Structure 1
Amino acid sequence: MKQLDIGVVGAGPAGLAVALFLSRVGHRVEILERFDTPAPVGSGLLMQPTGLTVLAALGLFDTIQTLGNRIDRLHGADAVSGRTVLDVRYDAAPGGRYGLAVQRAALFDTLHDAADGIPVRTGINLISTAQRADRVVLKDQASRDTGDYDLVIDASGARSMLAAGSDRAPSIRDLAYGAFWATLDGAGADYDRTALSQRYDKAKVMIGLLPAGRATVGDPDKVAFFWSLKIADVEAVKTAGLDRWKAVIRDYWPECQPFLDQIDDWDQLSLARYAHRTTLPPYSGNLVFIGDSAHSTSPQLGQGANMALLDAAALSHALASSIDIPSALAAYARARRNHVRLFQMLSLAFTPFYQSDSTAIAWVRDRLVSTIAKVPPMPGFLAAIVAGTVIDPFQSAGLTEHNWLSQRYQADSALPEVAAVRSSAQI
């Protein structure tokens, strides 16, 4: 395909990744960001083998591995009885896969530094597009033209105004439960440094600790702390007071005290709201959606950023292997369709077991599901679900999965010993 003028809306992980892929093969790329200074939003996240493979294809695996914290399993226990009700281990599936918990700042900086040299226009609040011949014109909140391109890639997230105003307006279902998040110091605290650990009281209470590595080399290790709650209850919880909230968590999980001691104000906690969102097909004319502007789910399977990175790779591959933009966008939609639909379905199925008002579902989770999960081949199947690889997402995105067995890991060290390994994928 000829060299294209491409506007990328949004300087988050999806936007930065797709800008990197496309600029490296010669397209003229410009990033447009609504904030005056691009910055990460949120606490920690769990990079899965899918997203890590995309970063490897961009040559960024070593960097993110050095900043992140290796995660070997997801472990959850009933906060009252102490019974284990979730134990998913990556090594239950073959291939040597593992997760990598990272701070959002670490992922953002890794991609942002790599994208140095790609033009970025900031402080631009885009709300609509207009198709003029074979070009896309972007318009701001005052309906002023802010640029025109052969292709516009909307990576502006779940609240995308471009998606809402297009003829592909997404189907959106706001979820009842969200979560308070905070990034806290892990020094002196008692927690499993190789696991995403959670405690539950039925499905109404979920508390979690995710060892999230460091924002920059040399920084102390941080832990992402989260507490699930209904969005409708947020104001009531705040009104009851911070001390009351801490007491509830301490009663469930006393080992959280060192983390609670660091929280002195509600402003230290970020409130995450979740929605199930689908834009079908994920393009309209020469406007294409990736990441949360195309699809989003609850966070139960930890796939959000990973799916966005796969979108970036798949779109880049489609553009490289198609004769024109319409055929490329159709190929991108086909490449991501089955993987996205599967994980949206799985997310909807799993969410009520961990975030709902149902006592019966929680009872089934704690007694029946936790037992079945131990019986082969379920451990391997659950590991593949968590890894994002229950169906192959790589081939359709033009990727070769990273060779996990080539990575040597020092279990007694806070830092992985990274071999100079790159994915063989060529985008």
Structure 2
Amino acid sequence: MPQRAATIVGGGIGGLATALALHRRGWRVEVLERAPEFTEIGAGISLWPNALHALKALGLADAVLALGAVETTGGMRDLRGRWLSRTDNAEVARRFSHPLVVLHRADLLRVLADALPADCLRPDAEVSAVRDPQHRPVVEHRGGESRADLVVGADGLRSAVRRTLWPTAAGPRYAGYAGWRTITAPLAQPPAEGAVTWGRGERFGFTALPGGRMYCFGTASVPEGGTDTKSPYAELLRRFGSWPDPIPALLAAVPADAVLRHDLYDLPPLPSFVHGRVALLGDAAHAMTPNLGQGACQALEDAVTLAHCLDGTGDIEAGLRSYDLLRRPRTQAVTRRSARLGTIGQLSWPPAVLLRDTAARLTPMRATLRSMTPVLDWTAPGDPAAR
């Protein structure tokens, strides 16, 4: 079979993982990234066992584990700092064969990029359109045009590929709340365990990173396009500076210029992730809110599944149909589940908050772990451990 060529639009986690999965199966790959370099300005990222299974299939699980911090315990608290529920992440690792690991997004992106030949990475190549999807698609970009046997749109929430080839699809929908993300400076005594504190229309979470740093995130129900974007750190302090310990100390250790603030969105379900020889992947296909920590995890699953479906077949369209059948139901279910959890977490009416917190306190840990199984119990297609 002659060497096949793939153009990947988007040099984020999903795009680079897809390029690597195809490259290792003999494809000639090209990754088009609109930014001037392949990097990530984000904060922390949680990789659950399903993501580690995908990284294992890419041969990178050990490298990623070496850069991250394994979270062993965590849970949810109320506004008085009392535990509502605890999660034994050691049991998560036992049940699903991998731990929950937290690291900086830039570290994960670097591991993926370093595993690819440098000459296949094309920064400063913003894509404007895709033509001829049914035959040998052509991608128009800042550097000219690229023709390939396969095009993968991994270009995020506001995907140019999706906009071009799925013109009637609904656009991103605002979740009703914004998110703040940041990383503290190294702490002499970082908290021993992570937690998410539920308030009224607000939440604040923290978890450990290597080197004594903590990844912190907050959410608040605010109108879309909020007015606090000029000073995200001041807004974070105003909202959460008096919350239960250790939140005030964590915020005191945050550099004032190191807070990212974004409105949060998900994507209404698409009827297909495939159009001819073009496939959507990651946020371009199924952007989801961060409540389950599954956005990047699902993109990694997408990448190894797509490569598996195309492996050993000259019929690219048939391989893409298999990819769509495998990935669309699962990712859209995870998107719905994340949205439901966000709705619960953002409750603000006091009686509803009381009911939510009471239900969380009365739910046994084993029931919580059982509820996580449909999301975490995934292994890469073709893995001998696959069930």
User: Normalising to structure 2: TM-score of the pair?
Assistant: 0.90
Residue equivalent to 1:196: 194
Deviates more, 1:224-233 or 1:279-288: 224-233
Deviates more, 1:15-24 or 1:85-94: 85-94
The 2-side partners of 1:27 and 1:212 are apart by 35
Q: Which amino acid aligns with 2:26?
A: G
Residue equivalent to 2:305: 314
Residue equivalent to 1:183: 183
Aligned ranges 1:119-198 → 2 under 5 Å: 119-131=120-132, 134-140=135-141, 145-167=144-166, 169-171=168-170, 172-192=172-192, 195-198=193-196
Residue equivalent to 1:398: 382
Match for residue 338 of structure 2 among 347, 354, 360: 347
The 2-side partners of 1:279 and 1:233 are apart by 23
Secondary structure of 2:253 counterpart: coil
Secondary structure of 2:34 counterpart: coil
Residue equivalent to 2:371: 382
Query: Does 2:130 match 1:112?
Result: no
Residue equivalent to 2:101: 100
Distance change (3 Å), C-alpha of 1:67 and 1:282: same
Q: CA deviation at 1:332?
A: 0.3
Distance change (3 Å), C-alpha of 1:357 and 1:164: farther
Contact 1:9 1:15 in 2 (8 A): yes
Q: CA deviation at 1:304?
A: 0.5
The 1-side partners of 2:313 and 2:336 are apart by 30
Secondary structure of 2:59 counterpart: coil
The 2-side partners of 1:183 and 1:68 are apart by 14
Residue equivalent to 1:228: 219
Q: CA deviation at 1:127?
A: 2.3
Residue equivalent to 2:292: 301
Distance change (3 Å), C-alpha of 1:164 and 1:210: same
Secondary structure of 1:334 counterpart: helix
Distance change (3 Å), C-alpha of 1:255 and 1:95: closer
Deviates more, 1:174-183 or 1:306-315: 174-183
Q: Which amino acid aligns with 1:71?
A: E
Contact 1:45 1:102 in 2 (8 A): yes
Distance change (3 Å), C-alpha of 1:114 and 1:368: same
User: What CA deviation, in whole Å up to 9, does each residue of 1:135-159 have, x standing for no partner?
Assistant: 1111237xx8521111111111111
Distance change (3 Å), C-alpha of 1:363 and 1:268: same
Q: CA deviation at 1:264?
A: 5.3
The 2-side partners of 1:260 and 1:318 are apart by 46
Q: CA deviation at 1:168?
A: 6.0
Q: CA deviation at 1:86?
A: 3.1
The 2-side partners of 1:258 and 1:19 are apart by 41
Contact 1:163 1:169 in 2 (8 A): no
Q: Which amino acid aligns with 2:320?
A: L
Secondary structure of 2:36 counterpart: coil
Q: CA deviation at 1:233?
A: 7.8
User: What CA deviation, in whole Å up to 9, does each residue of 1:41-88 have, x standing for no partner?
Assistant: 3110110111111111121111111110001233111022x3322323
Query: Does 2:265 match 1:275?
Result: yes
Residue equivalent to 1:68: 68
Distance change (3 Å), C-alpha of 1:400 and 1:40: farther
The 2-side partners of 1:83 and 1:338 are apart by 37
The 2-side partners of 1:280 and 1:187 are apart by 47
After TM superposition, which residue ranges in structure 1, 4 or more long, deviate above 6 angstroms? 238-241
The 2-side partners of 1:100 and 1:292 are apart by 21
Contact 2:379 2:385 in 1 (8 A): yes
Residue equivalent to 1:19: 19
Match for residue 317 of structure 2 among 320, 326, 331: 326
Distance change (3 Å), C-alpha of 1:169 and 1:98: farther
Q: CA deviation at 1:249?
A: 2.2
Please, which runs of 5 or more residues in structure 2 have no aligned partner?
none
Match for residue 337 of structure 1 among 322, 328, 336: 328
Please, which runs of 5 or more residues in structure 1 have no aligned partner?
214-219, 403-424
Contact 2:190 2:212 in 1 (8 A): no
The 2-side partners of 1:186 and 1:401 are apart by 39
Q: Which amino acid aligns with 1:101?
A: V
The 2-side partners of 1:258 and 1:134 are apart by 58
Contact 2:177 2:263 in 1 (8 A): yes
Query: CA-atom RMSD, angstroms?
Result: 2.7
User: What CA deviation, in whole Å up to 9, does each residue of 1:136-194 have, x standing for no partner?
Assistant: 111237xx8521111111111111111012136543322111211111124224412xx
The 2-side partners of 1:240 and 1:167 are apart by 36
| Alignment coverage as a number of residue pairs | 383
The 2-side partners of 1:233 and 1:121 are apart by 33
Once the two structures are aligned, what percentage of the paired residues are identical?
A: 22
Q: Which amino acid aligns with 1:138?
A: V
